[in-house]
Amino acid sequence: MAEVDLAYARATATDALARGTRDLSIPWENPHTGAGGNITPLAASYTDGDATCRDFLASYVRGQTQSWLQGEACRSAHGGWEVKSLKSLRQG
């Protein structure tokens, strides 16, 4: 997965989490590469140390390649969401 594509997914994830809803998928797309997918916030927020965080799933589709990613984002000191991790979700 190209880092340039993941930047679009991260930006959409912060927007999706700011909306405060869960289980509502929001599409993302990199118009330069044609990659895209959906971001789906999961469950409610939780506290991790001093930070409020949420988990999300991201689908990634580019050409014939399709995969799933699992992410975690936490609210920054300025109140916005910041993606802390985004990694491949292993399918078993």
**Tens-digit pLDDT profile for the chain (92 aa)?**
789 999 999 999 999 898 877 668 999 999 999 999 999 998 778 998 889 999 999 999 999 999 999 999 999 888 889 999 999 987 65
Any idea which residue has 């997965």 for tokens? 1
Question: Which structural domain range is residue 50 located in?
Answer: 3-88
Indicate the number of domains in the chain.
1
Token pair recorded at residue 17: 């989490």
Pairing of strands 65-75, 26-29: unpaired
User: Phi-psi category of 44—alpha, beta or left, where left has phi over 0 and alpha has psi -120 to 50?
Assistant: beta
pTM (predicted TM-score): 0.85
